[in-house]
Amino acid sequence: MHPSRLPLLESVLEAVSAGIVVVDQDRRIVLWNKWMSRHTGCAAHKALGMDLFELMPELRGGRVEAAVTQALTNHFSSLLSPTLNRAPFPLYSNPAAIARSDRMQQAIAVTPLAFPDGQGGSHCLIQLNDVSMAAAREKLLREQTELLRMQTFSDGLTGVANRRAFDAAIDREVRRAKRNGGMLSLLMIDIDHFKPYNDHYGHQKGDWCLIQVSAALQALLQRSVDMLARYGGEEFAVILPDNDPRQALRMAETLHERVLQLAIPHEYGGPEQQVTVSIGVATLQAGQTATPAALIGAADGALYAAKRQGRNRIVSALPEQAPGGQAP
Ligand SMILES: Nc1nc2c(ncn2[C@@H]2O[C@H](COP(=O)(O)OP(=O)(O)OP(=O)(O)O)[C@@H](O)[C@H]2O)c(=O)[nH]1
């Protein structure tokens, strides 16, 4: 290189918005640019000549040391992913971040340095970039995605799973039950005389009632595989994987009883004068070929039988076989 270009190269190294560190074969620091001084608080005159891993003992035994060793002994380059190695170097964006112990998130590249004339032995270049902004943006995007996912699959009023989530879950669970030869039960739950409740107490109180009932039902579902969903209006569905008809009936009784315990007054709610529910129960038996639609139809049929028989009760049914005995 022409000697007149050396000062230019030096100014570039000092001006660049990235950390540049070079260590020799004994891992001693031979180059430490201004960015490193600014973001570590360690000036070049202190860093130069020191063993990098004595200056920053916390790097010992980690991925940075492994990458430097690979570069110096085997001439391998490494990229340390910011996802796996968020902040190995004690680097801070500004003094306030030091006070908060809030390290900058880092992308690190470790490269063996080849000298054109073969002189100088093994050296290793470590480049560090601040990816805090990108990481913060990524976190925000992840949070927004999660929020959207929640909004897409949960009911805006009650917070329980919505119809879209139910449709996906029942499809998945029917397939799983058929694959494993297991059972699957479904409860359809409908609040009795809800139209007169709305008409008499008002729509807002009706909303409140839906929230109370769904929260009470949800609180009784202990297993993570069970799902309560708002099927529509004042109708809820409960998917109970691996539950046989007896277990499903017991769960229906527990849920029915819990709504009675809420003792929500309903002047036009039948003889009980409180909010009650009717429940239809259906079970997909082991080895039976049935579709989600057949299981829902059976539970719905049982629910309407419960309504016809006077409401505030539970009726069980078995699902219809799919035509031809084959699921689609
Ligand atoms: N407040 C409120 N009411 C709702 C909501 N969704 C549906 N409804 C009401 O729920 C009522 C359902 O009435 P119906 O389907 O006639 O049933 P019901 O009066 O409960 O009669 P049975 O089911 O036969 O006992 C209607 O008045 C709807 O307006 C909601 O999100 N909030």
Stretch 122-131: mean pLDDT, rounded?
A: 94
Is residue 310 included in any domain, yes or no? yes
**Ligand 1 centroid from CA 197, angstroms:** 8
Is residue 62 included in any domain, yes or no? yes
**pLDDT per residue as tens digits for the range 26-77:** 999 999 999 999 999 999 999 999 999 999 999 999 999 999 999 999 999 9
Residue of 261, 255, 193 lying closest to 228 (CA atoms): 255
- The CATH number covering residue 201 comes to 3.30.70.270
Contact 302, 252 (CB under 8 A): no
Task: Answer yes or no: do 92 and 158 share one domain.
Answer: no
Task: Answer yes or no: do 132 and 166 share one domain.
Answer: no
Stretch 85-93: mean pLDDT, rounded?
A: 89
What residues pair up with 190 in beta bridges, in sequence order?
235, 278
Q: Choose between 179 and 305: higher pLDDT.
A: 305
Task: Answer yes or no: do 25 and 67 share one domain.
Answer: yes
**Ligand 1 centroid from CA 254, angstroms:** 23
Among candidate residues 234, 235, 267, 272, the one labeled active-site is 234
The pLDDT, as a whole number, for residue 170 is 97
Ligand 1 mutation target, pool 193, 210, 234, 307, most atoms within 8 A of CB: 234
**Ligand 1 centroid from CA 195, angstroms:** 5
The residue whose CA is least distant from atom 29 of ligand 1 is 195
Atom of ligand 1 nearest to the CA of 157: 31
For 109, the domain range is: 3-138
**pLDDT per residue as tens digits for the range 194-226:** 999 999 999 999 999 999 999 999 999 999 999
**pLDDT at 322 > cutoff 50:** no
* Domain stops at, among 97, 114, 138: 138
**pLDDT at 323 > cutoff 60:** no
Cα 161 to Cα 15: distance, rounded to the nearest angstrom: 54
Mean pLDDT of the chain: 91
Is residue 144 included in any domain, yes or no? no
At residue 265 the predicted structure's pLDDT band, cuts being 50, 70 and 90, is very high
Classify 107 as helix, strand or coil.
Answer: strand
Cα 324 to Cα 328: distance, rounded to the nearest angstrom: 10
Ligand 1, CB within 6 Å, residue ranges:
157, 190-195, 198, 203, 206-207, 210, 233-234, 307, 311
Cα of first residue to Cα of last residue in the chain, in angstroms, is 73
Atom of ligand 1 nearest to the CA of 311: 25
What ipTM was estimated for this complex?
0.97
**Ligand 1 centroid from CA 310, angstroms:** 17
- Run of H or E including 229: strand 227-232
Tokens matching residue 220: 């009784």
Stretch 7-16: mean pLDDT, rounded?
A: 90
Contact 45, 149 (CB under 8 A): no
The pLDDT, as a whole number, for residue 66 is 96
**Which long-range contacts link 168-173 to residues 24+ away (Cβ below 8 Å)?**
169/227, 169/229, 169/239, 170/237, 170/239, 170/292, 170/295, 170/296, 171/292, 173/239, 173/241
**Share in percent of the chain as helix, strand, coil (round to 5):** 45, 20, 35
**Ligand 1 centroid from CA 263, angstroms:** 19
Tokens matching residue 14: 């000092």
267 is catalytic: no
At residue 264 the predicted structure's pLDDT band, cuts being 50, 70 and 90, is very high
Contact 42, 92 (CB under 8 A): no
| Pairing mode, strands 29-32 and 123-130 | unpaired
| Overall pTM surpassing 0.80 (yes/no) | no
